[in-house]
Chain A
């Protein structure tokens, strides 16, 4: 299965390694037309102001919003910001795919970046996974349709809405593949049949 990685700026190479681990076929996406050929998309970490600039310049918005109606998108850090409804910065134009509000660099500057182990409940089991937060955004508000996948210190840091998954941290830096698997493999299976949720 071909999964695209938006390769305009950021740590897109790291995501190719995770997709390789899962036996998925990574495709670097630099032009809107390339979205037509893939089954899912990753928006990687990087700077959301830079991503906005390049996505506007290359007319990505309309095609990407259409793409998201049918197919899953996984965003990490800046990718999460790009998927939010509100990003609270005039240079960031998000895609409004997740009904959340984000606070860019909510944890502070680089000196406050960190790695923590988070208990994550995915597909009915709990796993402790390393999560690297780099000048990470905070999710300050969520809408009704948004499911919380993980919290750190009372802060929501991983969410799901419909097919889409957004993370404030970087599983790709720690070789963690469960979110990619969740977004592109198990998610697409469970979308065919209604799965009861514990919550």
Chain B
């Protein structure tokens, strides 16, 4: 009887551990690397500070001054991102954005951010778009191209 109790305890611990791991799935970015859209919009509008390199890794280069790479879930586009970044100083601020859909459903942000991290960029940011580029950028009349 004692043995059964021990087995149940071990199994319960294993299940709990797996559950906790599942809950805290590690994203390639940290919360401090998320940039609020308003912050980027203000910087573009003021155009006084040194501008970051803004890169679209989603469906469309909507944001003013951004470079269009295309959806980063496609290998060819991920390669395009690598080529673009290889010409940049690793200390340059780079802002990646997608906006196809909410983060949990987006296939582009993870491969793109993992790539920029792998390349050693110290000032990489991801534009924090909770819903999509329409509601979180275009509808707010932020600068478009």
Do A and B pair up? The answer is no
A contact residues vs B (CB 8 Å cutoff): none
B contact residues vs A (CB 8 Å cutoff): none
